Chain A
Amino acid sequence: MRLSPRATTLLVLAVLIALSPLMFPSNFYYRVGSLIFMNGLAVTGMVILIGYAGQISLGHAGFSGIGAYSCAIMPVQWGIHPLLAPLLGAAISALLAWLVGRPILRLKGYYLAVATLGFGILVYMVLMNEAALTGGPDGITVADSGLPDLAEAAGLDLSNSQFWYWMSGLVLLAGAWLALNLYDSPTGRALRALHGSEVAARTVGVDVARYKLQAFVISAVYASVAGSLLALQNKFITPDVAGYMHSIELVTMTVLGGAHSVLGAVFGAAILTMLPQVLTVFAEYEHLLLGLIMMLVMIFLRDGLLPSLMRLIRGKSE
């Protein structure tokens, strides 16, 4: 029996999520694992934007910031149920992406990059400066979601890290499933068509502006949910989640692993998330090495790490 690429991807992800804990020597690794899944989720959204539609955004951390701060602000300030906050955050992100995306997505290449970058910085500055609401640069505590307690009541004896490991793993699987379904849908085909050539896509009747906007909004929701998960796990959040460096990291993870496949991008997220943990011994060299890796991969493995690795393996077996 031959599995479809979609089923293969989901299977590989599910097996990795389920079996990795067998190799975890301590609880700390659950935390790193959950961070990988959260970044993987945001990056899956970037695959839709960069890999499918061929657009770039240097401001998607802004949406992560909105998702994260929704979880921090809404339950405390406005009495909204903690589990409703991520959903409302995602809705706000979607609405904002829709409003901002309409004018921004007319731009191409570097102009699109600077416009999205500007958007991300604006969100970051609001989070930094509206201290009465957001706690300013010092950050803000996030009320407990009650979810880990619910799991305990249901008979699952999990630590906080363990709970969020499984939770974000499941959300990543769901996100990957949706993104893979989208790939083969009419929308996915339209996105790939406009990636190839906007003019050609328009000629065959694709509403280019509408589909680009859809990809932008969907990827914003992914980033927002990832931000919410991070806030709920950490129970504390600072404006850095919406910062320029985080936006850059998201794009780098996506392209590093391979922007055309969900699995590749999640692989990229895993590598870049683990890098600082592995390099704690060389903390001084962390930035130097990160920059070096970014350059080397983009110069020598243009399709990203995973596709290049796969080609190497296939080439040897044939």
Chain B
Amino acid sequence: MPELLQFLFSGLTVGAVYALVALGFTIIYNASDVVNFAQGEFVMLGGMITVFAHAAGLPLLLAAGIAIAATAVIGVALNKLAIEPARGAPVVSLIIITIGASIFLRGVASLVFDKQIHRFPAFSGDAPFRIGGATILPQSLWVIAGGVAVFIALWLFFTRTLTGKAVLATSNNRLAAQLVGINTNWVMTLSFALSAAIGALAGVLATPITNTSYDVGIALALKGFAAAMLGGMGNPKGALVGGILLGILEALTAGYLSSQYKDAAAFIVILLVLFIMPQGLFGARQTERV
């Protein structure tokens, strides 16, 4: 069984990163009904800014903090400059706008930073723990803990705080939320900042294991998007479960079937889930008003 355990460990690690990306998707989707294809670029920015700030001599923790804050500002700018002006545009236009944003951010990153692959040292060393014949890196535990912590924090935020409930109200009905005195513009700003910060955090946590470069965003966005769909769009629980399921599934496919087709397995399962349950695992059944 050590083999299976090893695959589960690596699946959990990757899955936690996917879950963080999917949680970022979920927040923006809930607040604005926009699926943000530039979510993967937030992860890239988190990793890259940390790398360069750390290389410039800042301590790792400070570099990570700067990266997360800077990415949050970029997220807010994305909302103000590209999403807000396009309010009410059809889904196809919104998809193209956010894909355009992701290509733009990638282009900027390749100019401001470079096109090399980078990493920075793991938080607590590289000596792996041995559990039941399998090994797990301390950094993997950081990633998994990060995923769980963000999920719990978001859950508390949405269910226990007034601001969180204002976000939910805005996602339910923007006009009605405005009528009861919620500043919906501020809610949008908050959602993009939060989503970008979570993406950047995923980048900071994962970079010591996966490395980073200016173009890691596309693959992460696709997987995170798929994970969010698998769990059911707009549901934080779905994002977490979808992300971790997807990670484990990939690791098992890579381990037992074919490492070349590990990405294929993920998409085949997603297609099947969508055929059988078009709203994902946890998505609410929607009825469309005509």
Residues 9-34 of B at the A interface (beta carbon under 8 Å): none
Cα–Cα distance between A131 and B117 once the two chains are bound (Å): 27
Contact partner, A251, options B92, B104, B233, Cβ 8 Å = B92
Does residue B107 face the partner (Cβ distance < 8 Å to A)? yes
Across the interface, do B86 and A298 meet the contact criterion of CB distance under 8 Å? yes
Known interface pairs A111-B278, A259-B92. Does A293 touch B271 (Cβ–Cβ under 8 Å)?
no
A122-133 interface bits toward B, Cβ cutoff 8 Å, 1 = contact, 0 = none:
100110110000
Across the interface, do A114 and B270 meet the contact criterion of CB distance under 8 Å? yes
Cα–Cα distance between A111 and B85 once the two chains are bound (Å): 24
What are the residues of chain B within 8 A of A248 when measuring CB–CB?
Answer: 99
Please, which residue of chain A has its CB at the minimum distance from the CB of B267?
A118
Does residue A84 face the partner (Cβ distance < 8 Å to B)? no
Does residue B201 face the partner (Cβ distance < 8 Å to A)? no
Across the interface, do B278 and A291 meet the contact criterion of CB distance under 8 Å? no
Interface-facing stretch out of B128-136, B137-145, B192-200, B256-264: B256-264
Does residue A121 face the partner (Cβ distance < 8 Å to B)? yes
Cα–Cα distance between A290 and B85 once the two chains are bound (Å): 19
Interface-facing stretch out of B52-60, B67-75, B182-190, B222-230: B222-230
A223-245 interface bits toward B, Cβ cutoff 8 Å, 1 = contact, 0 = none:
00000000000000000000010
Known interface pairs A286-B107, A291-B104. Does A299 touch B85 (Cβ–Cβ under 8 Å)?
yes
Interface size on A (CB < 8 Å)?
48
Contact partner, B104, options A119, A259, A295, A299, Cβ 8 Å = A295
What are the residues of chain A within 8 A of B288 when measuring CB–CB?
Answer: 199
Does residue B245 face the partner (Cβ distance < 8 Å to A)? no
Across the interface, do B91 and A125 meet the contact criterion of CB distance under 8 Å? no
Does residue A172 face the partner (Cβ distance < 8 Å to B)? no
Across the interface, do B222 and A129 meet the contact criterion of CB distance under 8 Å? no
Interface-facing stretch out of A9-17, A101-109, A144-152, A153-161: A101-109
Residues 249-298 of A at the B interface (beta carbon under 8 Å): 251-252, 255-256, 259, 284-295, 298
Contact partner, A125, options B92, B95, B260, B270, Cβ 8 Å = B260
Across the interface, do A56 and B278 meet the contact criterion of CB distance under 8 Å? no
Does residue B89 face the partner (Cβ distance < 8 Å to A)? yes
Across the interface, do B92 and A122 meet the contact criterion of CB distance under 8 Å? no
Known interface pairs A111-B278, A122-B268. Does A295 touch B260 (Cβ–Cβ under 8 Å)?
no
Does residue A200 face the partner (Cβ distance < 8 Å to B)? yes
Across the interface, do A111 and B274 meet the contact criterion of CB distance under 8 Å? yes
Residues 249-277 of B at the A interface (beta carbon under 8 Å): 260-261, 263-264, 267-268, 270-271, 274-275
Does residue A50 face the partner (Cβ distance < 8 Å to B)? yes
Cα–Cα distance between A56 and B107 once the two chains are bound (Å): 26
Please, which residue of chain A has its CB at the minimum distance from the CB of B275?
A103
Across the interface, do B99 and A106 meet the contact criterion of CB distance under 8 Å? no
Across the interface, do A287 and B103 meet the contact criterion of CB distance under 8 Å? yes
Contact partner, A121, options B92, B100, B229, B267, Cβ 8 Å = B267
Across the interface, do B93 and A291 meet the contact criterion of CB distance under 8 Å? no
Across the interface, do B278 and A106 meet the contact criterion of CB distance under 8 Å? yes
Cα–Cα distance between A174 and B93 once the two chains are bound (Å): 29
Dominant SS at the B interface? Answer: helix
Cα–Cα distance between A248 and B98 once the two chains are bound (Å): 12
Does residue A113 face the partner (Cβ distance < 8 Å to B)? yes
Please, which residue of chain A has its CB at the minimum distance from the CB of B25?
A110
Does residue A115 face the partner (Cβ distance < 8 Å to B)? yes
Does residue B106 face the partner (Cβ distance < 8 Å to A)? yes
Known interface pairs A103-B275, A121-B267, A200-B290. Does A291 touch B111 (Cβ–Cβ under 8 Å)?
no
Please, which residue of chain A has its CB at the minimum distance from the CB of B268?
A122
Known interface pairs A110-B35, A299-B82. Does A294 touch B97 (Cβ–Cβ under 8 Å)?
yes
Known interface pairs A295-B82, A298-B89. Does A244 touch B111 (Cβ–Cβ under 8 Å)?
no
What are the residues of chain B within 8 A of A103 when measuring CB–CB?
Answer: 271, 275
What are the residues of chain A within 8 A of B263 when measuring CB–CB?
Answer: 121, 125
Cα–Cα distance between A292 and B105 once the two chains are bound (Å): 10
Contact partner, B111, options A128, A256, A284, Cβ 8 Å = A284
Cα–Cα distance between A291 and B248 once the two chains are bound (Å): 34
Cα–Cα distance between A50 and B102 once the two chains are bound (Å): 22
Across the interface, do B95 and A113 meet the contact criterion of CB distance under 8 Å? yes
Across the interface, do B218 and A244 meet the contact criterion of CB distance under 8 Å? yes
Residues 76-118 of A at the B interface (beta carbon under 8 Å): 103-104, 106-107, 109-111, 113-115, 117-118
Across the interface, do B225 and A114 meet the contact criterion of CB distance under 8 Å? yes
Known interface pairs A56-B92, A118-B270, A298-B97. Does A288 touch B107 (Cβ–Cβ under 8 Å)?
yes
Cα–Cα distance between A67 and B175 once the two chains are bound (Å): 48
Does residue B178 face the partner (Cβ distance < 8 Å to A)? no
Query: Could you say which of A259, A284, A287 has the most chain B C-beta atoms within 10 Å of its C-beta?
Result: A287
Contact partner, B103, options A110, A117, A129, A291, Cβ 8 Å = A291
Across the interface, do B274 and A107 meet the contact criterion of CB distance under 8 Å? yes
Contact partner, A288, options B86, B91, B108, B222, Cβ 8 Å = B108
What are the residues of chain B within 8 A of A259 when measuring CB–CB?
Answer: 92
Please, which residue of chain B has its CB at the minimum distance from the CB of A51?
B92
Please, which residue of chain A has its CB at the minimum distance from the CB of B91?
A109
Across the interface, do A298 and B91 meet the contact criterion of CB distance under 8 Å? no
Across the interface, do A293 and B108 meet the contact criterion of CB distance under 8 Å? no
Counting from the closest, the 6 A-B pairs by CB-CB distance are A294-B100, A291-B104, A288-B107, A291-B103, A287-B107, A118-B267
List 9 interface pairs A-B (beta carbons < 8 Å), by A numbering. A111-B274, A115-B274, A121-B264, A197-B290, A251-B96, A290-B107, A291-B100, A298-B89, A298-B96
Identify 10 new A-B residue pairs, CB closer than 8 A, beyond the known A114-B270, A244-B218, A255-B92: A104-B274, A114-B226, A118-B267, A119-B267, A129-B261, A255-B96, A287-B103, A292-B104, A298-B89, A299-B89
